């Protein structure tokens, strides 16, 4: 076999093996941070892909990723051009790709909160503040890259106690996502945890939380969180005005089933400046350089 043919077959094999390879040049690809169970995410974002495809007149594909860091890396490497990020992951991604913009956020993301939850066996009760009663308990964050599941709860733990979480709690872990945080605290694997309030409220409405085993004990002050972020070079790739068309499509998304799956009541305009408080907090506690 000639060297030319060997190279051809090697390239073909690499393309088949690469998850993003089938997204050709004119396919608009997006992803989302894996903050919930993958099955829920795939169902939600396939619907979003179909909606965007109908509005943008290009092929649109959703690609799931395994971690928050993988979502940021895919965005940086132009494997995806659009992403549903949390506040922190959006700040990280935009910092890596010049000209990238936050396009839209959920109505609820303008004033987001984190819930601290506790297993009822701890005797911890709901409070208007984070009390010293949590000291010495076991504690789980969500993902290491999560705004609502790590960044903001760590900020408030440090602000309240003047100590790192590892000094306040007897054991600190990372569940990986908000749904798993509920399950771990519910089971008593960790006594206390912090998570996205929207995930808690949706699971509560769906009847999937054992409220005899776990309860909300505190909620943080508000902060900006999730948003759609687009790369700064999409107009060059897909045509002049493409960024504006994507923004408009997201702002006009009104399918009740799709919105409920987020869950959000709708999307409103967002800008990079809206997330400056997140960037400052991340720098303050050493998550951003």
In sequence order, what E strands does the chain have?
A: 28-32, 60-62, 82-85, 101-106, 114-119, 138-141, 171-174, 192-196, 214-219, 227-230, 267-269
- How many angstroms separate the Cα of 232 from the Cα of each of 6, 58, 71, 117? 37, 18, 16, 39
Query: How far from the centroid of its chain's Cα atoms is residue 111's Cα?
Result: 16
List, in order of start, the domains of the chain with CATH numbers: 3-109+224-284 (3.40.190.10), 113-219 (3.40.190.10)
pLDDT in tens, the chain (289 residues): 444 443 433 333 443 344 444 344 589 999 999 988 888 889 999 999 999 999 999 999 999 999 999 999 999 999 999 999 999 999 999 999 999 999 999 999 999 999 999 999 999 999 999 999 999 999 999 999 899 999 999 999 999 999 999 999 999 999 999 999 999 999 999 999 999 999 999 999 999 999 999 999 999 999 999 999 999 999 999 999 999 999 999 999 999 999 998 889 999 999 999 999 999 999 988 888 6
| Burial class (CB within 10 angstroms; exposed 0-12, middle 13-18, buried 19+) of 86 | buried
């Amino acid at each position: 076999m000639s060297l030319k043919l060997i190279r051809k077959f090697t390239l073909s094999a690499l393309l088949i093996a690469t998850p993003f390879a089938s997204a050709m040049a004119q396919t608009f690809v997006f992803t989302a941070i894996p903050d919930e169970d993958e099955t829920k995410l795939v169902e939600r974002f396939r619907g979003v892909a179909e909606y965007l495809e109908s509005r943008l007149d290009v092929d649109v594909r959703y690609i799931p990723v395994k971690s928050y860091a993988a979502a940021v890396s895919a965005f940086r490497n132009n494997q995806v051009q659009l992403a549903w990020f949390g506040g922190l992951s959006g700040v990280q991604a935009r910092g890596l790709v010049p000209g990238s913009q936050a396009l839209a956020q959920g109505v609820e993301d303008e004033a987001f909160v984190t819930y601290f939850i506790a297993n009822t066996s701890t005797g911890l009760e709901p409070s208007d503040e984070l009390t010293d009663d949590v000291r010495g308990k076991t504690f789980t964050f969500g993902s290491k890259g999560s705004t609502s599941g790590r960044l903001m709860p760590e900020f408030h733990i440090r602000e309240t106690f003047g100590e790192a979480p590892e000094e306040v709690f007897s054991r600190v872990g990372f569940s990986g996502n908000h749904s798993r945080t509920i399950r771990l605290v519910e089971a008593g694997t960790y006594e206390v945890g912090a998570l996205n309030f929207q995930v808690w409220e949706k699971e509560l409405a769906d009847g999937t939380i054992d409220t005899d085993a776990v309860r909300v004990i505190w909620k943080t002050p508000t902060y900006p969180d999730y948003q759609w972020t687009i790369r700064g070079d999409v107009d060059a790739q897909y045509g002049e005005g493409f960024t504006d068309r994507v923004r408009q499509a997201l702002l006009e998304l009104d399918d009740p089933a799709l919105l409920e799956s987020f869950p959000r009541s709708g999307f409103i305009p967002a800008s990079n400046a809206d997330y400056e408080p997140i960037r400052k907090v991340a720098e303050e506690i050493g998550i951003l350089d």
